[in-house]
A = this chain, B = another copy of it.
Amino acid sequence: MAEVENQAWLEQVKQLRQLLTAAEPTAFRTTFLELHSWEQAQFFLGLEQAERLTLYTVLTASEVGNFFDDIDDDDQALPEFLAEMPSKFAAKMLTEMYTDNAVDILEHLDKGTINHLLAQMPQQSALDMRRLLHYEDETAGAIMTTEFIAIAADQTLAAAMVALRANAADAELIYYVYVLDQAQRLAGIISLRDLIVNDQQKMVQEIMNERVISVQVTDDQEEVAQTIRDYNFYAIPVTDDENRLLGIITVDDIIDVIDDEAASDYSGLAGVDVEDTSENPLKAAAKRLPWLVTLLFLGMSTASLINHYESLVSEASVLAVFISLITGTAGNAGTQSLAVAVRRLAFPDQARTFLSSLLAEMVTGVVTGLVTGVTITLVVGFWKHSFILGSVIGLAMCCAIIVANLAGSFIPGLMARLGFDPAVASGPFISTLSDLTSVLIYFSIAQYFVTSFVQH
């Protein structure tokens, strides 16, 4: 089914490109403008520069702005698109876009270009965009839009509907109508549903909900995402510290936040940026190598620790057999507890403090360590006909697992307390660190017992 649709879409793209290059603007416009704006954006992103230049002459700035709203703001080609447009056209297009999306694009440009574009916009738009550009990255202010519908409390619903009708075309979402007092402070909220189903002669203040749940303009975007997720809102108002309404954040922007957050946690666990999956293999190698080489040098410390015990290994070469088993198992246990700790930091549990989580993780570590340790003691004991050797391996593994569990659960919390992203304490880092401690534990224990299991 999906392939059939895909075939039809490729056919349509081909036909549209032909109409564009054949300079048949009317036919092109008819077909193109029937597409959904996201599809228009997909079509646009597949064009060559020459075709794009033609497109800018065939469509109005407002029509181009309409689908630019649907281009992912992480798209690296955005500055190129803006640069190839006549600057008046670009300014007009940005004005026609939703303010938050226009600002997302401006953030990719250099200061000179931004000022040049803002200078060609109507004063109010330029002012709005300047204000939004000002907010720090990843805060509520940086992702909010200023296109909301606000009304006064002392009017009838019928009058409010007239105001709503007049402003509906420009607002990003009309599902919630915000009620302001004389000082522009947020006094209440009405859903469009309430506005419609109630008697039109009632006053706004009679039916508005005064318990408005809002976020502060300086709040972190992840907090905003959590609130919208919890309450199942379609949008949330953003206020300053005097409760004046500055903007709204809609759920589609929150989905982007959730996606980015998930991708960055996942990247942290793997030690690679997974966001850019379509880049060329050489660039991918260049991005992964710094991590790999850093970990390689960290791994060198484990190697030199083993080197320190080389005489022990040459005396009892059987010890070499279990190095990778112990480091590997402890690394797996550490990664498990790291993942749980990172997740717990993202979705905090009111009932648990940092210390009680650490304690719980320690108990988990002791239990998993004991079970795994006893298992391997038996396996090695029967295999090598030496339960002393088995006990050495088992004891080492048990201790290594407990230490790895503690490290995996402690380091993300420490990172968060120090103000870093906990996902930075990533999986490969924890595994490599746990290699070092596991080897140290292993050989310390083995050295103590070596005379008992080596036959001279």
A contact residues vs B (CB 8 Å cutoff): 1-2, 6, 34, 36, 38, 70, 161, 164-165, 168-169, 174-175, 192-193, 196-197, 211, 213, 216, 223, 229-232, 234, 251-252, 254-255, 258-259, 262-263, 265-267, 269-272, 274-275, 277-278, 280-282, 284-285, 288-289, 291-293, 295-296, 299-300, 302-304, 306-307, 310-311, 313-314, 317-325, 327-329, 331-333, 335-340, 342-344, 347, 349-352, 360-364, 367-368, 371-372, 375-376, 379, 401, 427-428, 431-432, 435, 439
Contact = CB atoms under 8 A, between A and B. Distances in A.
Contact of A1 (B70, B193, B216, B278): B216
A310 B321 contact: yes
B371 A328 contact: no
A195 to B, nearest CB: 10
B325 A307 contact: no
Given A255-B255, A299-B324, A328-B435, A278 B335 contact: no
B281 A360 contact: yes
Contact of A335 (B229, B271, B289, B327): B271
A193 B336 CA distance: 48
B269 A266 contact: yes
Contact of A367 (B231, B281, B376): B281
B263 A432 contact: no
21 contacts: A168-B193, A169-B193, A174-B196, A229-B255, A258-B262, A262-B265, A269-B339, A277-B344, A280-B360, A289-B372, A292-B333, A296-B376, A302-B324, A303-B325, A304-B321, A310-B317, A310-B318, A324-B439, A332-B431, A332-B432, A335-B427
- Indicate how many identical chains form the complex: 2
A197 B427 contact: no
Contacts of A263: 343
Given A307-B321, A427-B270, A364 B281 contact: yes
Given A340-B274, A367-B281, A197 B216 contact: no
**Chain A interface main SS type:** helix
A349 B350 CA distance: 40
A263 B175 CA distance: 30
Contact of A332 (B274, B310, B362, B428): B428
B427 A295 contact: no
A425 to B, nearest CB: 13
A378 to B, nearest CB: 12
A223 B5 CA distance: 14
A431 B430 CA distance: 14
Nearest to A164: B196
B168 A293 contact: no
A313 B303 contact: no
Contact of A197 (B168, B223, B252): B168
A229 to B, nearest CB: 6
Contact of A317 (B1, B252, B314, B368): B314
Contacts of A376: 296
Given A6-B350, A278-B351, A284-B340, 11 more contacts: A36-B231, A251-B251, A251-B252, A251-B255, A266-B269, A275-B343, A281-B361, A288-B368, A292-B336, A323-B323, A327-B328
Nearest to A393: B303
A174 B194 CA distance: 11
A169 B193 CA distance: 8
Contacts of A325: 296, 299-300, 302-303
